[in-house]
Structure 1
Amino acid sequence: MQKAILLLANILLIGCTGTKKASTSDNAGKGDTRTKEVEFLDDQTYYLTESANDKTYGYEKGNPVKVGGSKENSGPKNQRRFLNGLLGPNGEQIKYYRAGSCCGFKTPNGLFDNIGLLDLYKVYWDGSDTLNIYINLYDKGDLMIPVGLTAKQK
């Protein structure tokens, strides 16, 4: 069973990165870096108060949003909590969908052989172009509002 799981992880990794070696990036797989406690608006929504200064935050696979939760079985819910906290640049209600997984990387929190995959979400609102947001559900980091977006208030 373990060999089958490792084989599946390697197949996914090969499909995502083109090689057997996981891709490395600046921020994707450093493990847990969270320094601030996460706040909630409700059980389905994070309260996001800090805006990112880095224009790559969330928009590039090398600097994904790190929501964590895979080991606690709350990773997908944490992804939705983050996205539910966001609004468009003028307070527009956003819509999103998960486009799939990509971009294998090494992380001490990976489930199989210290490997993780990012999830790619497509985010849009009425009259907008679609944005790509990369989310890491293996590692925890400080949650920020990506450049160009706003967040729900209390």
Structure 2
Amino acid sequence: MKKLILSLSAAALLAACAGQKQKATTNQGIGDTRTAPVEYLDDRTYKLTTKTDDKTYGYEQQNAIKVGGARDQSGPMNERRFLNALLGPNGEAVGYFREGSCCAFDTPNGLFGNAGLLDLYKVYWEGGTDTLSLYLNMYDEGDLLIPVGFTAREE
């Protein structure tokens, strides 16, 4: 019975997102594209060392940040590990909240067939004039970079 309820819930979620369905075939490729091992500052924070100059990285659904982890149920924690590593442009502490899921896309790592959904987070910092939107992909693993407009924790 639990499996039936879970399956029906998943189908309802995917159907609800059908109106927003857009393929997000990232510039990084489909599926896992990670080339460098992930490092940690602590168990809740990734160590990010490489800045990108790609203004679409994380800001557009077609180039979502690939944190991975859905297969071992660490996807949501990996999203938080990434966001916890970010600082504002002048080293300000950031806050964030999850706006929701959106943007169905094809992935060989999907939990239901070959499909996944991106998570949209709103990120802000004290003194900032805007709340920025970042798209995160917990199904696929890619190299983790510091998005344009952010810096990262060093310790």
TM-score (norm 2): 0.89
1:82 maps to 82
Tell me the distance in 1 between the aligned counterparts of 2:124 and 2:4. 40
Q: Which stretch of structure 1 is more off in the superposition, 1-10 or 134-143?
A: 1-10
SS of 2:71's equivalent in the other structure is: coil
What count of residue pairs does the alignment treat as equivalent?
Answer: 152
1:23 maps to 22
Contact 2:24 / 2:103 at 8 angstroms: preserved in 1? no
Contact 2:41 / 2:47 at 8 angstroms: preserved in 1? yes
Tell me the distance in 2 between the aligned counterparts of 1:57 and 1:77. 20
Per-residue CA deviation, residues 37-74 of structure 1 (Å, 9 max, x unaligned), is 00000000000001112101001111100000011111
> Identity of counterpart residues, as a percentage?
60
1:48 maps to 48
One-letter amino acid of the structure 1 residue matched with residue 68 of structure 2: G
Contact 2:24 / 2:104 at 8 angstroms: preserved in 1? no
Q: Which runs of 5+ in 1 are unaligned?
A: none
Tell me the distance in 2 between the aligned counterparts of 1:68 and 1:149. 21
Q: Which has the larger helix fraction?
A: 2
TM-score (norm 1): 0.90
Tell me the C-alpha RMSD between the 2 structures. 1.9
Contact 1:6 / 1:112 at 8 angstroms: preserved in 2? no
SS of 1:41's equivalent in the other structure is: strand
Tell me the distance in 1 between the aligned counterparts of 2:32 and 2:71. 12
